[in-house]
Amino acid sequence: MTRLAAHGVGLEVPPGWEGRIVRRPSIHPAEQPRAVVHVASFPLPEARGDFGVGVTELMRSGDVFLTLFEYGPESLGTPLFAPVGIPQLTGAIFGSRRLQRTLPGQLGCQLFFTTDRRPFCLYVVVAGRLHLRSALAQVNPFLETLDLSR
Amino acid sequence: MTALVVVETVVLVLLVVMVTGLLRSHGEILRRLHALGAGLDPDAVDAPAVLRPRGDLARDHAGLGPAADLAGEGLHDDAVSIPVIGVRHRTLLAFLSSGCLTCRGFWDSFARPATLGLPADVRLVVVTKDAAEESVRVLRDLAAPDLAVVMSNAAWEQYAVPGSPYFALVDGSSARVVGEGTGATWAQVQSLLVHATGDEEDRRGSSGGGAAATEARIDLELLVQGIRPGDPRLYGSTGVPAS
C-alpha cells in the first residue's frame, strides 16, 4: 500500500489503486480551503469534478471510485452531518438513484459524517452490481486507514 | 621584495591549477550532458538516438529490473499516488525537468496527446524531481492540463535515472521495467517503445502476446516511420487496402 498525506488527510491507497489529495481553493475570503480525496481502482483523469464528473464516465465493469469531500465549519452541528466517525459501507446503502450522475450499470452511495470537528461527505461509485461485494471488501479496509485528525 | 614575488608566483600557480581543474570539470559535465541528449546546442535536438540498455545497472536475466509505484506531489498543491504495478496497462514514465532544454520538446509533444501515437495500453506519466529542485511555476506552464505529473525524488532514485530526459516503460502485469533509455525527440522514444515491445514478446516466447501484441508492435513501427492510418503508402500502387 502507498501512504499519502496532505491537507490534514492521511490514507493508504490499496495496491493497484490511484489516489489524490487536493485542496480546493476558497472562493470567498471568509471561506477556508477544503481537502478533497479521490481514490480509484483505475487511472484517474487530471480533469475531475469533485464528485466524479469526468471520471465516472470512464468506469468499466468492476471499477470503483471514491470521493471524500470536506465541508466548511458552517456545516458543523447541522442534522445532515450528525453521524460521528468514519462510516463503514454495506451493500444495502448502494443504489442507482444515489448517484450524482446516473450512468447505466453504476451504483452509488453518499454518506455525510463528522469526525474531529470536520464535516465530510463520502461518495462511492461502483460499476456493476455483480462487483459490489468485492468492491466493499476493498473500500471498507481502505476507510479504516483514513486519518482525518489535523 | 623577493618574498613578495615568491608569494605572488605561488598564488598565480595555484590559480592556474584551479582554473584548469574547473575547465576540465566543466568540459566533462558538458560531455555527459551531450551523451544524455541534453546538450546546450539547440541544433543538436535532432541528433541520432542515444537509446541504450542500462549496462551500468545489475539486471536479472528476466528483464530490465523491478518497477515501483509512484508517490509524490502534484503541481497543484496535491498529493499523488499512481500505481504502475499490478495494473492491466503499461506505463511510460517520462523523467523530465523544468530546466532541461531538451525536455521542452517533450512537454510540447505531450500537449498534443492525439499525435503521440501511443498504443492504447500505454499510459503516459511525467515524473519530475521534488518541488525543492524544480520550478513548480515553470512546470505548471509546461504541463498540459490533462497530463499526469508527479514530483518525486524517490522515483528518480528507484528507477536509477541518470538525468533528464529519460524514459522507462513499465509492464504492469509483470511489475518490471521492459524498456528504458533516453532520446532527444519523441520519434526516438517511440523507437524505444517498439524495441521494448519486441523484446517483451521475445521474452514471453513467440506465442506470447498473441496477434494483438504483434499488431500493436507493427503499428508502432509504422508510426516511427511517420506512417499513420490512411497513409497511401499502406495501400501500394493500387490505392486500396491490402486484404
Within 8 A of A19 by CB-CB distance, chain B residues are: 79-81
CB contact under 8 A, B71 and A2: yes
From the number of C-beta atoms within 10 Å of its C-beta (0-12, 13-18, 19+), residue A122 rates as buried
The pairing of strands A64-70 and A34-40 is antiparallel
Chain A residues in contact with B71 by the CB 8 A cut-off are: 2-4
C-alpha cell at A24: 480546493
Q: Which residues from chain B sit within 8 angstroms of residue A6, using beta carbons?
A: 73, 77-79
Distance from CA of A66 to the nearest CA of B (A): 14
pLDDT at residue A24, rounded to an integer: 84
Tell me whether A17 touches chain B (CB under 8 Å).
yes
Whether residue B147 and residue A3 make contact (CB cut-off 8 A), yes or no, is no
| Chain B closest-CA separation from residue A13 CA (Å) | 8
Question: What's the one-letter identity of residue A6?
Answer: A
pLDDT class for B47, splitting at 50, 70, 90? very low
Given phi > 0 = left and psi -120 to 50 = alpha, else beta, which region is B181?
Answer: left
Query: Which residues, 6 or more positions from B44, have their beta carbon under 8 angstroms from its beta carbon?
Result: B34, B184
- Is A16 within 8 Å of B87 when comparing Cβ atoms? yes
B78 vs A contacts (CB less than 8 Å): 6, 20-23
Chain A nearest-CA residue for B76: A22
Q: How confident is the model at residue B243 (pLDDT cuts 50, 70, 90)?
A: very low
> In this structure, what C-alpha cell is assigned to residue B181?
533509455
Query: d(Cα A58, Cα A134) in Å, to the nearest integer?
Result: 20
Q: Which of B70, B76, B82 to mutate to test the interface with A (most CBs of A within 10 A)?
A: B82
The secondary structure of B24-75 as a DSSP string is HHHHHHHHHHHHTT--S-GGGGGPPP-----TTS---TTSS-B---EEEE-S
Residue B194, C-alpha cell as written in the block: 517498439
Q: What is the pLDDT of residues B106-146, one digit of tens each?
A: 999 999 988 998 999 999 999 999 999 999 999 999 999 99
For chain A, the average pLDDT equals: 94
**What SS3 class is residue B219?**
helix
For testing the chain B interface, which of A17, A38, A41, A46 should be mutated: the one with the most B CBs within 10 Å? A46
- Average pLDDT of every residue of chain B: 79
Interface of B with A in 104-133 (CB under 8 A): 123
Ranges A117-121, B35-39, B74-78, B80-84: which has the least confidence = B35-39
Enumerate the residues of chain B whose CB falls inside 8 A of the CB of residue A5: 79
The verdict on a CB contact (< 8 Å) between A4 and B79 is yes
Of all residues in chain B, the one with the smallest CA distance to A47 is B146
pLDDT per residue as tens digits for the range A68-126? 999 998 999 999 999 999 999 999 999 999 998 899 999 999 999 999 999 999 999 99
Is the CB of residue B215 less than 8 Å from the CB of residue B222? no
What does the alpha-carbon distance between residue B18 and residue B179 come to, in Å, rounded to a whole number?
42
- Name the DSSP class of A8: T
Q: Which single residue is written with the C-alpha cell 489535523?
A: A150
- CA B102/CA B108 separation, integer angstroms: 11
pLDDT tens-place string over residues A3-53? 999 999 999 999 999 999 999 877 777 777 889 999 999 999 999 999 999
CA-to-CA distance for B7 and A46, rounded, in angstroms? 65
Long-range contacts of B132-138 (CB under 8 A, 24+ apart): B134/B97, B134/B98, B134/B99, B135/B98, B135/B99, B136/B75, B136/B98, B138/B98, B138/B99
